[in-house]
Structure 1
Amino acid sequence: MRLTEKVALITGSGSGIGKSSALLFASEGAKVIVNDVSHEQGMATVQEIRQNGGEACFLQADVTNAAEVEEMVKQALQQYGKIDVLFNNAGISGVGSVHETSEELWDRVVNVNIKGVFLPSKYVVVHMMERKTGCIINMSSCIAEIGLMRRAVYSATKGAVLALTKSMQVDYAPYNIRVNALLPGTILTPFVENYLRTSYDNPEEAFETLKKRQLSGDLGKPEDVAKAALFLASDESKFMMGAPLYIDGGATFGKMA
């Protein structure tokens, strides 16, 4: 029970990595605030946590909307009195090289992936500063460290999140607040499954190609990243500050022959 008595807010926790993290955090004793733009998916996560004996509530908010995020944080504090862990997990992808990327797609991905980290952090960190304790986990990607075809805007945003993480850590270290980043490789989430089905004539062949990116020879699972998030959220990682944690099956530091 590594998160007993801790309150954790996880954005984008209606599906994928966020949902897996919410379930795992709750099983480790945390009171989990599930956030998502989808009421249906968010409540499904909450119901599953409660069915397994955990404690959770759902707060719907668009992480790119300042008023909604501020209200979400206000309601969370009213209900639980504190937020010990903020996991900025919400994010979207975008496919295309620079010349293929529309301005609309660029703005949308930048808005969700960077502003969606900035706003929750902005409103939660003030509370953490007052308590002089807290843990913030930002979702970056191994693509922040490597090149990958046709991922211009996605890689730009995930590189920005990694840089933001390091800057935040310098600012908030005096308040005993830890800020670290997760850098997953390709994870078999519902988003990736849908991307394979809708973007390729032969999804199975594309899946095999994706697996070859990583030394593991396979894609990661949401649970793999959730376990890394749990480590960062727990006191076991108390000496990690401003650090990238890779969960990428070897994609960053190796290449299969």
Structure 2
Amino acid sequence: MTGRLNKKTIIVTGAGSGLGRASAIKLAEEDAQVFCVDVNPETVKETSDIITSRGGAASHYQADMCSETEIIAMVTEAEKTYNGIDGLLANAGIAGTGAAHETSLEDWDRLIKVSLTGKWLCAKHVIPHFIAKKSGNIVFQSSICALNGFPKLVAYTAAKGAIAAITRQMASDYGEYNIRINAIAPGTIETELVRETYKQRLDDAKSDITVDESLSQTANRYPLRRLGQEMDVSNMSVFLFSEESNWMTGTVIPVDGGYTAK
């Protein structure tokens, strides 16, 4: 494989499924060396195997984003495996539904721990490597929930909004070290995680409509009249890790079929 990423070593968290898997595969297609990470050892190995079966460079590692100890070990192993780290795609996260008064403290804490604190910890522990080499690139997975209000997603929106905020803040701290930090804010993407979220929301509402019907209704709210596909987001990941975006930092980029233009 030859491509735009020229053997850069990139850690991808949440690489066992969905946007993480799609992005890991696309980064490898563009000649990155991908260190695939997920809490599920079977699915992350599948991602790594897909990449290597197509001639790409990848390895896999199991880590829980709720454990700082495991995140530190993850960064150490990635650095040892590829003799350096060039980028981090902090993608791992979980879904959750509910308005403020409907959300338990337990559910709030769990979602924030995985989807916000875990991303921050990954960045915290790769940044010293980037400072030492005066080069590095972090891409956070946020959401258009960070930019617009959506019903019954209070904890999820809190996590994604905070990711957008720390993207801008951290870009201010680390630009002098040639470390770029950006975030992708996808709209509704057809993934299993999204389908699970819709199912939970419909079940909570005791609705008679199906997940497919609900997704179709959502698609019609987008100016492009369709939901996003995994490749729409993975293509943006490649761009942000490539030299084509080398004067971009502190940005939160909607990939949303025009939703935020409304």
Q: Identify whether the pair has TM-score above 0.5, normalized to the shorter chain.
A: yes
Q: Output the CA distance in 1 between the equivalents of 2:222 and 2:118.
A: 28
The answer to whether the aligner puts 1:202 opposite 2:204 as a matched pair is no
Counting matched residue pairs gives: 254
Offset at 1:5?
1.7
| 1:241 alignment partner AA | T
Check the 8 A contact 1:34/1:56 in 2, yes or no. yes
Task: Name the SS of the counterpart of 2:14 in structure 1.
Answer: coil
Alignment of 1:64-83 (within 5 A): 64-83=66-85
In the alignment, what sits opposite 2:61? 59
* Aligned partner (choices 44, 47, 50) of residue 46 of structure 2: 44
Offset at 1:215?
1.3
Q: Output the CA distance in 2 between the equivalents of 1:222 and 1:150.
A: 24
Check the 8 A contact 1:34/1:58 in 2, yes or no. yes
In the alignment, what sits opposite 1:250? 258
In the alignment, what sits opposite 2:113? 111
Offset at 1:4?
1.2
Offset at 1:121?
0.5
Q: Which string of whole-angstrom CA distances, capped at 9 and with x for unpartnered residues, describes residues 189-222 of structure 1?
A: 1112233445433223212222123211111011
The answer to whether the aligner puts 1:172 opposite 2:179 as a matched pair is no
In the alignment, what sits opposite 1:231? 239
Q: Output the CA distance in 2 between the equivalents of 1:35 and 1:209.
A: 34
Task: Name the SS of the counterpart of 2:254 in structure 1.
Answer: strand
Q: Output the CA distance in 2 between the equivalents of 1:30 and 1:23.
A: 9
* Aligned partner (choices 7, 18, 27) of residue 25 of structure 1: 27
Q: Which string of whole-angstrom CA distances, capped at 9 and with x for unpartnered residues, describes residues 96-150 of structure 1?
A: 1100111111001111111111111011110000000010001111111111111
Gaps of 5+ in 1: none
TM-score by length of 2: 0.94
Check the 8 A contact 1:64/1:119 in 2, yes or no. no
Offset at 1:81?
1.1
In the alignment, what sits opposite 2:205? none
TM-score by length of 1: 0.96
Q: Output the CA distance in 1 between the equivalents of 2:221 and 2:101.
A: 24
Identity %: 40
CA RMSD for the aligned pairs? 1.1
Q: Output the CA distance in 2 between the equivalents of 1:143 and 1:212.
A: 18
Q: Which string of whole-angstrom CA distances, capped at 9 and with x for unpartnered residues, describes residues 51-90 of structure 1?
A: 1000100011011210000001111111111111100011
Q: Output the CA distance in 2 between the equivalents of 1:197 and 1:179.
A: 33
| 1:245 alignment partner AA | I
Q: Output the CA distance in 2 between the equivalents of 1:241 and 1:196.
A: 33
* Aligned partner (choices 157, 160, 163) of residue 158 of structure 1: 160
- After the TM superposition, list the runs of 4 or more consecutive aligned residues in structure 1 that deviate by more than 4 angstroms: none
Task: Name the SS of the counterpart of 2:162 in structure 1.
Answer: helix
Gaps of 5+ in 2: 203-207
Alignment of 1:79-98 (within 5 A): 79-98=81-100
| 2:218 alignment partner AA | L
Per mean C-alpha deviation after superposition, the further-off stretch among 212-221 and 143-152 is 212-221
In the alignment, what sits opposite 2:187? 185
| 2:138 alignment partner AA | I
Task: Name the SS of the counterpart of 2:260 in structure 1.
Answer: coil
| 2:225 alignment partner AA | G
| 2:249 alignment partner AA | M
| 2:56 alignment partner AA | G
